[in-house]
């Protein structure tokens, strides 16, 4: 669970996204960051009991920087008004499919899983896996429990078939995606409840078959 002050900091940052305000509230940022890292470390501790590959992983290796790279962006606000944590062996530098948590108040928080904007080689490997074993992916996505929480894949998709695949391919609806991800919204109030970590672990278990499928494709990369 989180402290309400951490959510309040992010809301205030969203409304005052400039360097002057941030400098004046640096201590609030540090406290909110500490709070998020503590929660993430608790989640990772539980994940380690499920999968030894998480052993030794620290939340600080999973938390993305709050500072934005604005060099090539039309949006020149200097900070991300959210905390993003990718929980995967290897942390945020891993190229594997993982379990993601975003903390952003007012209906913008979510759990997510899968491969987000994989590079060309990774996307090629994923599409090849779908080509060979699309029935396995479909079984995962159509599972009753999975579909209840994650009705559909989300993200950008090609309007036509990717190069090398027929538009009549049995699994063309999956092959068109540029990312293979699913998301589930989180209410602000959920972060403040004692069972939040327990609920997060349940979502992880539901997402994990998708990540496993994708990581079979990414194993040798």
Please, what are the averages of pLDDT over each run of 10 residues along the chain (221 residues)? 97 97 98 98 96 95 94 88 97 95 97 96 97 98 98 94 96 97 98 97 98 92 63
Instruction: Compute the C-alpha angle 164/166/168, nearest 5°.
Output: 165
Q: What is the DSSP secondary structure assignment for residue 152, as one 8-state letter?
A: S
CA–chain centroid gap for 172, Å, is 24
**Count of domains forming the chain:** 1
pTM more than 0.85: yes
- How far apart CA 56 and CA 135 sit, in angstroms, is 35
Strand 109-115 relative to strand 83-87, pairing: unpaired
User: Cα Rg for the chain, rounded, in angstroms?
Assistant: 18
Owning domain of residue 93: 4-218
pLDDT for res 33:
98
Helix crossing, 26-50 with 4-15: angle to 10°? 130
């Amino acid at each position: 669970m989180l402290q309400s002050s951490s959510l309040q900091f992010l809301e205030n940052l969203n409304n005052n996204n400039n360097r002057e305000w941030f400098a004046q509230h640096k201590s609030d940022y540090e406290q909110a960051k500490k709070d998020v890292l503590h929660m993430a470390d608790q989640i990772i501790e539980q994940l380690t009991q499920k999968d030894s590959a998480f052993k030794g992983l620290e939340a600080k290796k999973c938390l993305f920087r709050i500072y934005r790279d604005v060099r090539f962006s039309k949006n020149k606000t200097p900070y991300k008004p959210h905390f993003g944590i990718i929980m995967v062996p290897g942390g945020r530098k891993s190229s594997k499919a993982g379990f993601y948590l975003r903390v952003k108040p007012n209906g913008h928080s979510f759990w997510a899983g899968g491969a987000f904007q994989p590079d060309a080689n990774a996307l090629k490997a994923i599409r090849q896996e779908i080509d060979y074993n699309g029935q396995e992916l479909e079984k995962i996505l159509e599972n009753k429990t999975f579909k209840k929480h994650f009705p559909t894949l989300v993200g950008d998709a090609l309007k036509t078939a990717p190069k090398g695949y027929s538009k009549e391919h049995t699994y063309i609806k999956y092959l068109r995606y540029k990312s293979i991800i699913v998301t589930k919204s989180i209410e602000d109030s959920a972060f403040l409840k004692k069972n939040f970590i327990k609920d997060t672990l349940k979502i992880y278990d539901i997402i994990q078959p998708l990540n496993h499928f994708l990581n079979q494709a990414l194993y040798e990369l």
